Amino acid sequence: MVKRVAVTGAAGQIGYSLLPRIATGEIFGPETQVRLQCLELTPALESLKGVAMELDDCAFPLLTETVCTDNLEEAFEGADLVLLVGSKPRSAGMERKDLLLDNGPIFTGQGKAIEAAAGPNVRVVVVGNPCNTNCLIAMNNAKSVPADRWTAMTQLDHNRAQAQLALKAGVDSTEVKNIVIWGNHSNTQFPDWSHATIGGKPAADVIGDDAWLKNIFIPTVQERGKAIIEARGKSSAMSAGSAALDHARYLFQGTPDGEWTSIAIVSDGKYGVPEGLICSVPVTCPGDGTYKVVEGLEFSDFGQDKFQKSIDELSAERDTVSGLL
């Protein structure tokens, strides 16, 4: 069966890095054909046409068709997976939540169109910033689509945290397992090493430097997006596209045995997160599009305080967009 993948903002930076990798089977595997359904703003359709021409020129064996449209329902028609990328990125000096008033309204119409047109088992991954609260807006504008279908991306933060610990320990990143990103995809997120392992041993023991973990590791992960904007002049795109593929691949092909990842999902109250917020927590995925929250992890006072700050920020963002819910 051909999987339909809708990508918004498909002519943008992330779209350009994401589309060929979806077309080579990175989300649904090497046996599954895909149909790309690309949405863009009308003025960007010409540029999107060029991207579609390049996709044709790659002659990808799994790609059956590339639809290019500025019509929401055509883009989401029958979709198995929707990647909501299209929105403004921040520039130097901004926080992601400064985008809320510009980007938030995009997600009301997109939520409604997903409800009207997407496939019965659709999964939605929100990448466009501020992604947690944009996801909240889309979900609340599509009340008949079950709440567990809506996710926002903190996989990039998860990957960043994994990479920073691996660099510090001088090991391959695959040696680092079970980090958690708690909270918002913002500089209040809490990248938590306390349950992580490096080469099978507790990460804190291997790193052996509590001050580095608290004073260097946390802010490095929290502010990595900003550091990339300062260095590149544009927000992350290669790593963001790669993280979106990881996120979707975990949903559809599963997390490895004994490992979890971090996904922002709708809260049912676990870990003290107010119901209905879209908050990053550790999850395992069996590979059928569902996820299960990893329960029973404990916090130090330090960690609880960090997580609470991010929860408070998510609550404040929800208040800011209450008119869009």
| Residues identified as active-site | 185
Minimum Å distance from CB 288 to ligand LMR?
A: 28
24 close to 32: Cβ distance less than 8 angstroms: no
Q: Which of 118, 228, 279, 324 binds ligand LMR (CB under 6 A)?
A: 228
Decide whether 228 or 294 has the Cβ nearer to ligand LMR. Answer: 228
Report the residue number, 96 or 123, with the smaller CB distance to ligand LMR. Answer: 96
Write down the least CB distance from residue 205 to ligand NAD, Å: 30
CA–CA dist 161, 190 (Å, integer)? 10
Distance of CA 312 to the CA centre of its chain: 20
Residues within window 139-168 making contact with ligand LMR, judged by CB under 6 A: 156
Nearest distance from C-beta of residue 87 to ligand NAD, angstroms: 4
Residues 187-226 vs ligand LMR: string with x where CB under 6 A? --------------------------------------xx
Size of the site for ligand LMR (CB under 6 A): 11
Helix spans in 118-237 (H): 131-140, 155-169, 203-207, 210-212, 218-222, 224-232
Q: Which class for 264: exposed (0-12), middle (13-18), buried (19 or more C-beta within 10 A)?
A: buried
State the Cα–Cα distance between residues 213 and 208, nearest whole angstrom: 9
With respect to ligand NAD, which residue has the nearer C-beta, 12 or 25? Answer: 12
Q: Cβ 30 to ligand LMR, closest distance in Å?
A: 29
User: Least Å distance between CB 149 and ligand NAD?
Assistant: 18
Q: Which stretch binds ligand LMR (CB under 6 A): 32-40, 135-143, 234-242, 277-285?
A: 234-242
- Among ligand LMR, ligand NAD, none, residue 228 binds (CB under 5-8 Å by kind): ligand LMR
Residue numbers of the site for ligand NAD (CB under 6 A)? 8-9, 11-14, 39-41, 44, 85-90, 106, 127-129, 131, 153, 156, 185, 235-237, 240
Two structure tokens written together for 147: 């709440």
30's tokens: 């090497």
Which of 112, 115, 113, 139 shows the shortest CA–CA distance to 125? 139
177 strand-pairing partners: 197
Which letter, b or e, does each residue of 107-117 get, where b requires 16 or more Cβ atoms within 10 Å of its Cβ? bbebbbbbbeb
Q: Does residue 76 contact residue 112 with C-beta atoms inside 8 Å?
A: no
Which residues contact ligand LMR (rule: CB under 6 A)?
89-90, 96, 129, 156, 225-226, 228, 235-236, 240
